[in-house]
Amino acid sequence: MRAGIAGFRGYSGAELVRWLGRHPWVEPVLLEHRADSADRPRPRGDRGPQRLPCAAEAVQAAGLAVVFLATPADVSMELAPALLGAGARVVDLSGAFRLRTVERYEHWYREKHTQPDLLAEAAYGLPEFCRERIRGARLVANPGCYPTAANLAIRPLLEAGVIDRAAGIVCDAKSGVSGAGRKPSLKTSFCEVTDNFSAYSILKHRHVPEVLLTCGLEESEFSFTAQLLPLDRGILETIYFRTEARSAGELLGIYEKRYAGEPFLRLYEAGQVPDLHSVRHTNYCDIGVTLADGRAVVVAAEDNLVKGAAGQAIQNMNLMLGFPETEGLL
Amino acid sequence: MRAGIAGFRGYSGAELVRWLGRHPWVEPVLLEHRADSADRPRPRGDRGPQRLPCAAEAVQAAGLAVVFLATPADVSMELAPALLGAGARVVDLSGAFRLRTVERYEHWYREKHTQPDLLAEAAYGLPEFCRERIRGARLVANPGCYPTAANLAIRPLLEAGVIDRAAGIVCDAKSGVSGAGRKPSLKTSFCEVTDNFSAYSILKHRHVPEVLLTCGLEESEFSFTAQLLPLDRGILETIYFRTEARSAGELLGIYEKRYAGEPFLRLYEAGQVPDLHSVRHTNYCDIGVTLADGRAVVVAAEDNLVKGAAGQAIQNMNLMLGFPETEGLL
Amino acid sequence: MRAGIAGFRGYSGAELVRWLGRHPWVEPVLLEHRADSADRPRPRGDRGPQRLPCAAEAVQAAGLAVVFLATPADVSMELAPALLGAGARVVDLSGAFRLRTVERYEHWYREKHTQPDLLAEAAYGLPEFCRERIRGARLVANPGCYPTAANLAIRPLLEAGVIDRAAGIVCDAKSGVSGAGRKPSLKTSFCEVTDNFSAYSILKHRHVPEVLLTCGLEESEFSFTAQLLPLDRGILETIYFRTEARSAGELLGIYEKRYAGEPFLRLYEAGQVPDLHSVRHTNYCDIGVTLADGRAVVVAAEDNLVKGAAGQAIQNMNLMLGFPETEGLL
Amino acid sequence: MRAGIAGFRGYSGAELVRWLGRHPWVEPVLLEHRADSADRPRPRGDRGPQRLPCAAEAVQAAGLAVVFLATPADVSMELAPALLGAGARVVDLSGAFRLRTVERYEHWYREKHTQPDLLAEAAYGLPEFCRERIRGARLVANPGCYPTAANLAIRPLLEAGVIDRAAGIVCDAKSGVSGAGRKPSLKTSFCEVTDNFSAYSILKHRHVPEVLLTCGLEESEFSFTAQLLPLDRGILETIYFRTEARSAGELLGIYEKRYAGEPFLRLYEAGQVPDLHSVRHTNYCDIGVTLADGRAVVVAAEDNLVKGAAGQAIQNMNLMLGFPETEGLL
């Protein structure tokens, strides 16, 4: 089978091309939308995957089973209807189809939503919680990088009732720079990022509503800060809450039960936590727990370009096309 | 006047030498204790400051007004009595003399304290809160790097009663690698740190009791995580709490009043926060505040080798010797 | 088949474990020699490959077809005889068996050689030039990281007679820090390496004789400087010489002819050169050429842990065991 | 006295502001030309230096003694005549006025030169070789960052006749990213630079002719490669040549004699060389020499933003205005 990738020059798009190149059943095809950014020099004779124009006819003629949109939200809204019309399933990596309602989208993104029907139709692509809906979906909204780790770390504990919601949940999140995309900007320039660490979008990041929706939290119960690490890839979230659980092991037991059989969730011994090296270039989300008299600290780590983007998108594609969920991802 | 530096090959010690080299009234002298670590190659003819053995007689003969101990806690306990006996004032940069009681020291450091009298005598060297005691002190315990920023950010708000202590205060702290010292270890090896970010000593870091003591907090009210950034210097702390304050401006007003005239505290406009580039190679602690319905996020940044170590030590020296507090530090 | 790895905690050893884990016919086994270095925390339930003591009996009982020695030269000299005696083929990644004669070894390494017979017997493991000898060898000396790129870039041009040897060849080499091994040292500490770039072993690096031997150069014809980059992996060598060739294309034609069919050599268009991102985490050595009236600059890049160590070692193993040469390496 | 800075938001411009802020006799004034780039958030109450429009009248009214142009070459050509007309001396940090003739400029820069008279008039601002011309100049062309180190390392040895010119001189240069300016571009984006090292403008960099002119070399005698290091500031050049000198000491003796009394040149013992940490944030150019039978390797290091830009510009200003040459630079 063949899978198209729009936005293949961006970091998430290039990561999709790399991982799909190792997938046993799927061949990547590059969909040229706008050649706004230079290709890297390639060795002689290395042509890379086939290229097609990103247009309904070409997609239909090539018989692409699925198209990944690694494009900005406005471009995804523009491309999705035609691609779906051409018979392809669509996995969108932007924020365009994640928030269910136009009101919510326009509140958090401060932009008009032009495809309200698709927004209502899209399945949220977090397999650990939405596996069945993803299998049958035409359009999957691949989760944001930050909410993937946050939801995987927080929701099982909320469901088990061990978090003191009144005291609030703090999620202090740190991300590598590739999360900001490949488009040059002062904010992501080498000299601005190296030897630096900075917080942004404090308490108002666009990814917050994905956590509120998935976990069933009120905005006032959840304090989220995004921060930029001087490295290219990786997200680590340090999550604080008050709890009546009496040990880290008790919390780990909840995760263990909830995630039994999940291929991409890994837990650590009580008091041990993952770091970014634990998860770089993998599709795992790793979780560790520390607890001391009523205060818990959960550390969740993932690669923002893999479990936080391209890897999870392929996991969704595997579900949509009926492949084993881990195909090409281990 | 002349100031001795024991441990001048370490990162804090070398920083002291650099800053004292710019001080108009004080000349640094290197005190050779153990030559366990190689000097860097120097240009021809660059001898650097004078060197003396780190012994009571040499210190007395040279008439050193003050000695900085940039040494591990056990070495500081060993050296401090003799140096004080030789008539020098002492500013100790280790944790040896910060915690007031032997019990507290032995609980947090898991080591025996051999100088209980000096521990009781030492003044805690946080000028913004202990200026008068420092002026008259023979022995100053220079604060830990993490507690300096945490105390400066938290205590004024606690004093003003605007923090909901029942819900707890979270301090998510990130530090550059120089904070771990110059002694080679796997943990601080380049390949282990680069492209990585890791949490350590979660909820049990030795610096926690300095915050509890200075702020008057119970351990159960304060959740602290230390984390290692892939950069050499700088600390940024993201501090979360619940509050009845209705705006960031209200919190900023409290800081402004408390820190009026303080030379090394800087505030940002509501909703703006410092990053590490704001404070690198300076003695400032910068503070910014964001607030949204009942949840506040305070970001405090400093250079761990300056306000978090050598700079603050010189600030303390200036107070002890009667120089203007900012001399050599702007 | 099963392959043992001694020194699996080091960077080259760990890289061997990772790549062998993807090899379709070979299963890695960890050989515990000295547990001098801590393992990283692992997720629960992740046991990793089987572990055996690094002893002749265990190796024989387990029927290991090959053992990789990712150990220091003195340890390799100690282990190799017993492992060969136990019936295993050996690929040694240290410098112990690369230089053919005891005199040469002792001149460049300033250490005694205790296994002169094995030194004489060993095949030099650069497949592009020694493929046949490797196939039949019991003991392969895997090349040094620097000489791999240098030899691949220089030898074809020397053979073609286009380099003006009288004017000399300059090889300005830069390497990531993993090349220095995992043992903590001040030289490889994060704070010493970050924001830094430094030259070492100028004109006298231990890897020089491997280039002299493979290329048939006199020491006086070859100026080599090793330099440390602030990054974990990758080697880039900028090679200068005078030539009567009239275009970059002429030099590229020589490479193209010599390396026709070579799976791990890639060339760039005239005037284009690879960077480290071109080769990270691959077994390729990439070569690009620039030329201007009589002066040529060749840039060769590789991943020091892959083509410069573990990848090339597996390439050698594939040859020794009769697998396709690229198995597990693409 | 007051000194204007056009282009104060760029890295060289900001460095000028920082260093001038420490100069005892000169006060910096920011000249607003185009506000194309955002200012960093500042602490409350920190207004920074005075701002004026970058126009002849304002400069004249404010009585600026000197104006620094930290602007692109085309902007410098546009601004210089009016500022000189307003009575200010001008130190230009771009390449606009370095190459003496219009032909040479247009050959290397591939752009039209609009101010041929000023090009002919300008003094080349390398104090170690052009001190007297600088003192009397209205317009100084501050040298490029790469040529500063190259000329300081090469010219004394050429003058002494110890370099075998027929065999050619190789200058393998590595620079931090700030040398490429602050304007966002893919080439200087964090994710493209980190974990990478790349060569560019091989054998045709615009800075080459500055070395040819200052050293009296033919293009065919000088092979220069520029390369990008994953760090913000610092240049290290590894220079190779053949020589009849018999020891590193002999070459060091030549430097020592030529640079006796020079405040910003430092030499190392034979066989020792500087690294980037030796010179970061200083106005020094450090030089070390290694030699082995006929082949010499000279390592020269500087901070590209200081001796390679802002520091040298202030050194030139000191000469032009009659201050001690080291004022504000130690």
Question: Predicted confidence band at D35 (pLDDT cuts at 50, 70, 90)?
Answer: low
CA distance D3 to C321: 73
Q: Contact at 8 Å (CB) between D54 and D35?
A: no
> Alpha-carbon distance B324 to B135, whole Å?
12
What does the pLDDT look like over C279-288, one tens digit per residue? 999 999 999 9
Query: How do the domains of chain D map onto residue ranges?
Result: 2-142+307-321, 145-304
Q: Pick from C202, C203, C238: which is nearest to D225 by CB?
A: C238
Predicted pLDDT of residue A105: 98
| First vs last C-alpha separation in chain D | 20
Q: How close D127 gets to chain B, by Cα (Å)? A: 21
Express each pLDDT in C87-134 by its tens digit: 999 999 999 999 999 999 999 999 999 999 999 999 999 999 999 999
One-letter amino acid of D200: Y
- pLDDT score of A124: 98
Contact between A186 and D38 using a beta-carbon 8 Å cutoff: yes
Q: What is the pLDDT of residue B36?
A: 61
Please, what are the averages of pLDDT over each run of 10 residues along chain B (330 residues)? 96 98 96 78 90 95 97 97 97 98 98 98 98 98 98 98 97 98 96 98 98 98 98 98 98 98 98 98 98 97 98 98 97
Catalytic residue positions of B?
Answer: 145
pLDDT the model gives residue A36: 62
Cβ-defined contact of D232 to A195 (cutoff 8 Å):
yes
**What does the pLDDT read at residue C18?**
97
Provide the strand spans (E) within C233-323: 235-242, 265-267, 285-292, 295-302
- Which residues on chain B are in Cβ contact (under 8 Å) with A219? 293
pLDDT of residue B41: 83
Q: Which residues of C touch A285 (CB under 8 A)?
A: none
The pLDDT-based confidence of C66 (bands split at 50, 70, 90) is: very high
Instruction: State residue C285's pLDDT score.
Output: 98
Q: What is the pairing mode between strands A222-228 and A198-200?
A: antiparallel
Greatest pairwise CA separation for chain D in angstroms? 62
C190-212 pLDDT per residue, tens:
999 999 999 999 999 999 999 99
The rounded distance, in Å, linking the Cα atoms of D309 and D142 is 7
Tokens 């290694």 belong to residue: D290
For tokens 């017993």, name the residue: C82
Give the contacts of D245 (CB within 8 A, at least 6 positions apart): D162, D251, D291, D296
- Compute the C-alpha angle A212/B196/B186, nearest 5°: 140
The predicted complex's ipTM stands at: 0.97
Taking the C-alpha atoms of residue D207 and residue D209, their distance in angstroms, rounded to an integer, is: 6
Which chains border D (3 or more CB–CB pairs < 8 Å)?
Answer: A, B, C
| DSSP-derived pairing of the beta strands C265-267 and C123-124 | unpaired
B188 with B177: CB under 8 angstroms?
Answer: yes
Q: Given A44, A274, A281, which is nearest C269 (Cβ)?
A: A44
Is A145-304 CATH 3.30.360.10?
yes
Contact B268 D41 (CB under 8 A): yes
Q: How far apart are CA B193 and CA B228, in angstroms?
A: 8
Q: Do B184 and C186 touch (CB under 8 A)?
A: yes
User: What's the farthest any 2 CA atoms get from each other in chain A?
Assistant: 62
How many residues are recorded in chain A?
330
User: Inter-chain contact D190–A184, Cβ cutoff 8 Å?
Assistant: no
| Mutation target among C295, C304, C305 for the D interface, most CBs of D within 10 A | C295
- Looking at residue C35, its pLDDT comes to 64
> How confident is residue D133, by pLDDT bands cut at 50, 70 and 90?
very high
Two structure tokens written together for B157: 């708000």
Backbone torsions φ then ψ of A147, nearest 5 degrees = -65, -30
Entry pTM? 0.97
Average pLDDT of span C313-324: 98
A148 contacts A307 by C-beta, under 8 angstroms: yes
Task: Please enumerate in sequence order all residues whose Cβ is within 8 A of that of B195, keeping only pairs 6 or more positions apart, or say none.
Answer: A231, A232, A233, A234, A276, A277, A280, B230, C232, D195
CA-only gyration radius of chain A, Å: 20
**Residue D37: is its pLDDT beyond 90?**
no
Annotated catalytic residue, options C145, C171, C215, C285: C145
Query: What's the pLDDT band for A34 if we cut at 50, 70, 90?
Result: confident
What is the token pair recorded at C181?
Answer: 């091994």
**For chain C, percent of residues with pLDDT exceeding 70:** 99
Give the residue numbers in B contacting A (CB under 8 Å), as ranges.
166-168, 170, 172, 174, 192, 194-199, 202-204, 219-220, 223, 225, 227, 229-234, 236, 238, 240, 242, 271, 273, 275-277, 280, 290-295, 297, 299
Distance of alpha carbon A96 from alpha carbon A115, whole angstroms: 9
- Active-site residue identified among A145, A171, A215, A285: A145
Distance in Å, alpha carbon of C308 to nearest chain A alpha carbon: 19
pLDDT of residue B39: 76
> Could you tell me the CA-to-CA distances from A215 to A83, A124, A158, A201 in Å, in that order?
31, 13, 7, 21
- The tokens of B285 are what? 């602690």
Q: Do A274 and C43 touch (CB under 8 A)?
A: yes
Identify the helix (H) or strand (E) that includes residue D222.
strand D222-228
Interface test with chain C among A22, A39, A42, A44, by most C beta carbons within 10 Å: A44
C303 Cα to chain B: minimum distance (Å): 14
Whether the per-residue pLDDT at A39 is higher than 80: the answer is no
Q: In whole angstroms, give the CA distance from residue D45 to residue A184.
A: 32
CB-CB: which of B194, B236, B295 is closest to A223?
B295
Specify the residue for token string 């929701």: A155
In chain C, residues with a C-beta closer than 8 Å to the C-beta of D235 are none
Per-position b or e across D150-159, b if 16+ CB within 10 A of its CB: bbbbbbbbbe
Long-range contacts of B15-22 (CB under 8 A, 24+ apart): B15/B305, B15/B306, B15/B309, B15/B310, B15/B311, B16/B68, B16/B70, B16/B310, B16/B313, B16/B314, B17/B48, B17/B49, B18/B310, B19/B306, B19/B310, B19/B311, B19/B314, B19/B328, B19/B329, B20/B314, B20/B328, B21/B49, B22/B328
Residue D34: pLDDT band by 50, 70, 90 thresholds?
Answer: confident
Query: Tens of pLDDT along D204-221?
Result: 999 999 999 999 999 999
Distance of alpha carbon A19 from alpha carbon A41, whole angstroms = 20
What CATH class does D2-142+307-321 carry? alpha beta
End-to-end distance of chain A based on CA atoms, in angstroms? Answer: 20
Q: What is the pLDDT of residue A41?
A: 84
| Total residues belonging to chain C | 330
Do residue D43 and residue B274 have CB atoms under 8 angstroms apart?
yes
CA B275, CA B231: separation in Å to the nearest integer? 13
Choice among D54, D130, D145, D285 that is catalytic: D145
